[in-house]
Amino acid sequence: MAALIGSQVPRYNIMPAPGGFTTEDAELAIAFAAGYGLQADEWQETVCESWLRRTKRGHWCASTWGITVSRQNGKNGSLEIVELYGVVALGLKFLHTAHEVKTARKAFSRLKFFFGEKANDPTAKFPELNALVREIRNTNGQEAIILHNGGSVEFIARSKGSGRGFTVDVLVLDEAQDLQDHELEALLPTTSAAPSGDPVTIFMGTPPKDTGEVGEPFVRARDGAVDGSDKRIAWVEFSADGDVSTMKADELERFVRDRKNWADANPALGTRINLTTVEAELARFSAASFARERLNMWPAAGTATAAISATAWDACRLEVVPEEWPLAAIGVDMNPERTQITMTMAAFSESGVHLELPSNAPGAAAPSQELVDWIFQRARKRIPVVMDAYSPARSLEPLLKKKGCKVFILGPAELSQACGGLSDAVLKDKTLTHFDQEALNASLAGAYKEPFGKGGAWKWNRKTFEVDLTPIMAATCAHFGAVKFGKKRAPGNATGGRVMVL
């Protein structure tokens, strides 16, 4: 019987391919690493070629890079090639994060092998690389390799506030199956002011064990790649060709015993991974566990639940809005990167509440006092100003209160009520209208219902990193503010008129 060898061709190799793109960086990176003994497998070369594509203008074709393959196949080998080339040849700054401290330390030790134990290390295996070193930090929790050219790789274990103090070009999310949204929100701003001006986020890992908050960002990244909604992702996946979520028990048993599936999902089978190892796992694991752990099987893409269909939202559109509708509330939101702030105005309409984005609102780059003054000119001391408790926009709260604004902060329970209330106003009660503004439409289209807590609670989350969630979040806050905190006045009696788009 012929030896069973892992396939070098991924099930999914999804990447942008703009006209005139080049893979020169990938070719250089693979050759550079090989010169120091880091010889890529064929499939690892494919990962580098998918990730390291540049447009003809010199920017990365994709802003998100991903690799998912079963454990022990060597996915970190591709990353090491990219990190070694990126830090030495391109002077990029990497923040390499992992779920566990031991994983971060292991990655540090593997990369440190090329540079030595310290600057001016006489025992360094590659003196020419050691000569580039400005500092190597070995302190537990602060491991880093820093070069004279400005390039660096810093290694940390993830936590809720672990991203503070870092400014990098490339954010690495290893063990992404354990990544949670609060960790991602802390880490993403590290690339907002990337020194290269071309930030990248890298996802690496295996399918999460359960659907829910743990691993949800990784699932969204994959969904965005597989269903095509994320146009700026480079995703490489080795997995068996099938949908285990729809299989019956006997079908799943046959699927996991098919050795072709073993080869498709494990490119290192027959080299790093012995066939006998996989046979032993099949005997020990349940069929579902084997499918996830060894065949790298994911839930079907596109399972995120849309709260409001495009058809239902479009039915709420208005062409003309009466000027006499009084302002009812203002919703405010800011993205985690603090690069986008949105104010949404809610007005009392004849049927309920009308939502609209103002045309002249200042952007996130405006000074805080300018933002506060703009809101106060419209809200004064009577109109509710509403925001989510976990929004970065809360930095405006003390300034708004000092002005005398009525500020309402929505905790998790109220935010869930607000999300459900906006959905009901569109789908059930037909009491919400909007002005068909592209930014608000796109924000809703890119959002989905993320369950949290118990009892059916949910909140908005974005399907891909390209989605600006601030318009729908601000609209949700504004609608809730109008319904719960607003006081309806006679038409034309609002402070300063309707002030919706002024």
Q: What is the pLDDT of residues 402-441, one digit of tens each?
A: 999 999 999 999 999 999 999 999 999 999 999 999 999 9
Lookup result for tokens 């070719």:
27
Whether 499 maps to a domain, the answer reads no
Nearest 5°: the CA angle 50, 52, 54 is 110
Which pTM was predicted? Answer: 0.70
CA dist list (Å): 348 to 121, 328, 419, 432, 437: 71, 6, 19, 10, 18
The answer to whether residues 393 and 467 belong to one domain is yes
Whether 268 maps to a domain, the answer reads yes
| pLDDT band (50, 70, 90) for residue 499 | very low
The predicted model gives 198-207 an average pLDDT of 96
Mean pLDDT, all residues of the chain: 91
Q: Are 411 and 386 in contact (CB under 8 A)?
A: no
Whether 10 maps to a domain, the answer reads no
**CATH code, 392:** 3.30.420.240
pLDDT tens-digit map of 443-497: 998 888 888 776 778 899 877 667 889 999 999 999 999 999 988 765 544 444 4
The answer to whether residues 294 and 337 belong to one domain is no
Of 24, 171, 26, 40, the residue nearest 93 (C-alpha): 171
| pLDDT band (50, 70, 90) for residue 47 | very high
Whole-number pLDDT of residue 405? 96
pLDDT tens-digit map of 360-391: 899 888 999 999 999 999 999 999 999 999 99
Of 223, 238, 253, which residue is a domain's last? 238
Whole-number pLDDT of residue 304? 57
Of 129, 114, 56, the residue nearest 81 (C-alpha): 114
The answer to whether residues 263 and 138 belong to one domain is no
Q: Are 45 and 32 in contact (CB under 8 A)?
A: no
- Can you tell me whether residue 321 is helix, strand or coil? coil
Q: Which residues have C-beta within 8 Å of that of residue 27, sequence separation ≥ 6?
A: none
The answer to whether residues 44 and 179 belong to one domain is yes
pLDDT tens-digit map of 84-108: 999 999 999 999 999 999 999 999 9
Which H or E element spans position 237?
Answer: strand 233-237
Distance separating alpha carbons of residues 62 and 198, to the nearest angstrom: 10
Residue 211 predicted with pLDDT over 70? no
Secondary structure E strands in 335-383: 341-348, 353-356
Angle between helix 470-480 and 438-445 (nearest 10): 100
The answer to whether residues 387 and 288 belong to one domain is no
Other Cβ atoms within 10 Å of 395 Cβ, number: 12
Count up the domains in the chain and report the number. Answer: 3
**Sheet of 327-334: strands edge to edge?**
406-410, 384-388, 327-334, 341-348, 353-356, 432-434
The answer to whether residues 290 and 228 belong to one domain is no
Other Cβ atoms within 10 Å of 218 Cβ, number: 26
Lookup result for tokens 């109220």:
414
Whether 95 maps to a domain, the answer reads yes
- Can you tell me whether residue 493 is helix, strand or coil? coil
Q: Are 373 and 402 in contact (CB under 8 A)?
A: no
* Maximum alpha-carbon separation in the chain: 86
Q: Are 159 and 146 in contact (CB under 8 A)?
A: no
Lookup result for tokens 């591709």:
78
pLDDT tens-digit map of 118-138: 999 999 999 999 999 999 999
Whether 492 maps to a domain, the answer reads no
The answer to whether residues 398 and 261 belong to one domain is no
The answer to whether residues 161 and 282 belong to one domain is no
The answer to whether residues 171 and 216 belong to one domain is yes
Whole-number pLDDT of residue 500? 47
Angle between helix 101-115 and 75-89 (nearest 10): 50
Whether 1 maps to a domain, the answer reads no
Distance separating alpha carbons of residues 168 and 173, to the nearest angstrom: 13
pLDDT tens-digit map of 257-311: 999 999 999 999 999 999 999 999 999 998 988 999 999 998 766 555 667 888 8
Whether 500 maps to a domain, the answer reads no
Q: Are 166 and 96 in contact (CB under 8 A)?
A: no
- Can you tell me whether residue 251 is helix, strand or coil? helix
Whether 98 maps to a domain, the answer reads yes
Nearest 5°: the CA angle 356, 359, 361 is 100
Of 210, 207, 203, the residue nearest 236 (C-alpha): 203
Domain that holds residue 343: 310-485
The answer to whether residues 158 and 108 belong to one domain is yes
Residue 174 predicted with pLDDT over 50? yes
**CATH code, 46:** 3.40.50.300
The answer to whether residues 159 and 288 belong to one domain is no
The answer to whether residues 194 and 337 belong to one domain is no
- Can you tell me whether residue 56 is helix, strand or coil? coil
